[in-house]
Structure 1
């Protein structure tokens, strides 16, 4: 037993905040995630990154994703070579360990801090680094126990023939598809038939993770633990064993949309399973739960004539993410998953990077509270360090928001801005509501005042040239002197051998 609280970090995948009823979803309710919000604090101004890999790396390192030479990641898909017989597991491990930047002795990662404080650390679910990783790398980051996928491409299917348990391959009986049963990414008769064909799809990955999560909590209930669950849900392509009863009779949703909603409700069930187990074990009141997502919304329930994606509107207007962008009404997103903001995943628009963020810690965090404090995913490390009474490692970018959680506003460290990368270039958001976007295609800047322009419809760069000059200077400094560092390709490293994936 310890006075230090257990910590559970639940990291959704591509979950726009508008998909949760506590942030306004109207087609279904997410009662268990809502319970976290009702019994804790919900943030209205939280940022992830533009997509998954940099977001996870940023959170684990406590660094934003616009630096030069901080980390690299390799392409996914390499682990399919095990199923095809082209490579041995040991060959894949060796290749990943010799491609790109590797952790140095002085690098400190998020789980190492709780581990140093005597916590048992565990990671269950989607891989926690890049698009392909290894058991040795996960252990180097500080996870004593780890179970799940090691390859991002395999995470696009929800019926894995094998997963990894502390680095060892473990077979999942009844799952026979090398691609983990991956479906198509747009509705069609062929896709519907594919989804309904259950051959080789015996066990759904989230059900496996639920069992492992409960087992982990039970095994470590008597000493402090830090459990990280990066879920695949609700990342597409859409796959779910059955439509959830909460949406099955909906007259407003198509079958495809009901299946997508059921993926969010499946994640909500996981939250409920965790909450129920903590209560059953009598450790609920000494467990902090953090629930958030890696990036903003993405549209997966795409249907011809009803719902498009990030590239064009229902009227066939092309979105360039410079002067035109996705909105729920023009793209036909019945869910309004980006909560009325502009843009989707991969972009630097608010809809691509603003995320749901909820923290619950009974008796310490007041119930049913909201915060407009601007936070970001690289604030997790300093916040947990603060919670444990530990010093934040030198050189980190994050700021602890623990004082905000405990409503000690006079102790909350102020920050001028946060920054993140995207395909078109980096963006900087200030604490007083200004946002500067760099567009690498034409080497220009845009300026928005998001406190009054939630949808980012009015570019004010020509009206405030001095402000653009100042913010673009901050942005350049954050990018270590080169705006290119604020793009994903600056961190991607190719494997030295061709045709591996």
Structure 2
């Protein structure tokens, strides 16, 4: 039975006190393959976690993953949802030609507002997805197909596509044996959907009636709990715990692509740590409670693994899709300030969450936020825990990105990687061994028009940021010395700027080698 509104929050407090080229290889542990769980937060800035410096919101369960595992300090996602998820799912950097494409997410909301019968709505959904989505090449191999080939059961909970609207056939093509969640990213912006999807079937959520899934305003000043009765994240954590129990006797790969803490802010109840904090606005209290719920859910997953005897043989990874975003205002014209600085090509005219506009400093002082080519838009947390394999409390500065998860997963599950992927396994680093194969650089692409705010980060710490390719406007930073990107260095190092700029543009114009 789905837990409604306040029930799971009370439980939390109590409980927590191309198939071408794929071939089997020996597993890391032939006697018993390790389970793998990937928790993928949504718009969670690296500075929102205690282990990365957060001071107001406490995240003890995620911090415990870091204390008992490895924390990455030079890790990159995308700059917004769709390219980030495509990169993770394909093992390719998101600047490749013929890569990801997103469609409009609002069809299901429009159909629901018209009270379209479910069968007709599904028919129209399938027609639209077929017409509007990028075709999936026959040689394409997705993340979940890697462990699937090794005999793992695969499951996804939450946001079900790379962006922004999908259907059953596409989710199955991505390699998921079981799934539960949203077909539409537009509906994900509300937390009280009238229905969700489980393996191709709609199932209703009690007490939720709004076609927009209870989406709140960007101001975040609506009463707590408004929007419906059944909070989607409570549905997902219940399903995840059940899946772990039901599959405890077989290896599984579980991917939780959570909505939290993407806004607009909405929560069934304020967490007691913040409910009476008179230094926070109502929207800030809600946001803090959403981050706290995410941390609580991580704690419930870890508790269930121990209860089922799976803790020692389960790898748990935690990351976020892209950089920080503010859903609790005022944003103080964040993107306008960034644009002004870029237009003038000033050394430092960038908005930072540490400038006073963000009480939480969610990007940890880094320049920019989501959709920015600066560190605050793309540098993400990554934490991996594997008892007995990963040294507790270890950290790494290895240059890595979301697209490296696929090769790492292949190494863990004993599956051969498809040829041509950009992905490089960081399993040696996790195990404390020498990392012989590393990136010379990673690529992060803004994506919307392929012409702005993309970046290349080199292994030796140099970073080139594309401001406007048509105007030949690029900036240069050394993030090993200046991760906040305060000192623009193109005038001092014109040859370095030229070489990195040439490499970035080449990568953004490159075809996919994995599909040849």
TM-score, normalised by the number of residues in structure 1: 0.90
Deviations 1:394-449 (A, max 9, x none): 1100110000000102x431221000111523210001000011222633111111
Deviations 1:129-159 (A, max 9, x none): 2111111101001000010001111000000
Displacement of 1:457: 1.6
* Residue of structure 1 equivalent to 2:108: 79
Give the match's secondary structure for 1:79.
Answer: helix
- Distance (Å, rounded) in 2 between the aligned partners of 1:414 and 1:5: 24
Displacement of 1:79: 1.3
* Residue of structure 2 equivalent to 1:345: 370
- Distance (Å, rounded) in 2 between the aligned partners of 1:425 and 1:302: 23
Q: How does 1:140-159 map to 2 (within 5 A)?
A: 140-159=173-192
Contact 1:15 1:296 in 2 (8 A): yes
Give the match's secondary structure for 2:209.
Answer: coil
Contact 1:292 1:358 in 2 (8 A): yes
Displacement of 1:250: 2.8
* Residue of structure 1 equivalent to 2:259: 232
Contact 1:448 1:459 in 2 (8 A): yes
Give the match's secondary structure for 1:210.
Answer: helix
* Residue of structure 2 equivalent to 1:496: none
* Residue of structure 2 equivalent to 1:426: 454
Structure 1 residues 249 and 88, CA gap change in structure 2 (3 angstroms): closer
Contact 1:302 1:309 in 2 (8 A): no
* Residue of structure 2 equivalent to 1:123: 156
**Which moves more between the two structures, 155-164 or 414-423?**
414-423
**Which moves more between the two structures, 248-257 or 201-210?**
248-257
**Which moves more between the two structures, 436-445 or 466-475?**
436-445
* Residue of structure 2 equivalent to 1:177: 210
Structure 1 residues 328 and 113, CA gap change in structure 2 (3 angstroms): same
* Residue of structure 2 equivalent to 1:479: 508
- Distance (Å, rounded) in 1 between the aligned partners of 2:161 and 2:128: 18
Aligned equivalent of 1:361, options 367, 386, 390: 386
* Residue of structure 2 equivalent to 1:416: 440
Q: How does 1:37-186 map to 2 (within 5 A)?
A: 37-85=66-114, 88-186=121-219
Displacement of 1:114: 0.5
- Distance (Å, rounded) in 2 between the aligned partners of 1:25 and 1:331: 15
**Pair 1:381 & 2:406 matched:** yes
Displacement of 1:127: 2.1
* Residue of structure 2 equivalent to 1:283: 310
- Distance (Å, rounded) in 1 between the aligned partners of 2:53 and 2:482: 19
Deviations 1:213-255 (A, max 9, x none): 0111111110000000000000000101111112223343222
Count residues in correspondence: 471
| Superposed CA RMSD | 2.0
Contact 1:311 1:319 in 2 (8 A): no
- Distance (Å, rounded) in 2 between the aligned partners of 1:197 and 1:320: 41
Displacement of 1:109: 0.4
Aligned equivalent of 2:489, options 449, 460, 463: 460
- Distance (Å, rounded) in 2 between the aligned partners of 1:100 and 1:256: 35
Q: How does 1:251-330 map to 2 (within 5 A)?
A: 251-303=278-330, 308=332, 310-311=334-335, 323=346, 324-330=349-355
* Residue of structure 2 equivalent to 1:33: 62
- Distance (Å, rounded) in 2 between the aligned partners of 1:432 and 1:402: 21
* Residue of structure 2 equivalent to 1:195: 223
Structure 1 residues 285 and 481, CA gap change in structure 2 (3 angstroms): closer
Gapped regions of structure 1 (runs ≥ 5): 486-501
Give the match's secondary structure for 1:159.
Answer: coil
Contact 1:12 1:233 in 2 (8 A): yes
Gapped regions of structure 2 (runs ≥ 5): 1-29
- Distance (Å, rounded) in 2 between the aligned partners of 1:195 and 1:89: 33
- Distance (Å, rounded) in 1 between the aligned partners of 2:467 and 2:56: 36
- Distance (Å, rounded) in 1 between the aligned partners of 2:80 and 2:149: 30
- Distance (Å, rounded) in 2 between the aligned partners of 1:246 and 1:357: 25
Deviations 1:67-124 (A, max 9, x none): 1112322111111133123662112112212324211221100000101100000001
Displacement of 1:479: 1.2
Give the match's secondary structure for 2:139.
Answer: coil
Aligned equivalent of 1:437, options 465, 475, 492: 465
Structure 1 residues 380 and 309, CA gap change in structure 2 (3 angstroms): farther
* Residue of structure 2 equivalent to 1:447: 476
Give the match's secondary structure for 1:446.
Answer: strand
- Distance (Å, rounded) in 2 between the aligned partners of 1:236 and 1:391: 39
Contact 1:428 1:475 in 2 (8 A): yes
Displacement of 1:55: 0.4
**Which moves more between the two structures, 448-457 or 210-219?**
448-457
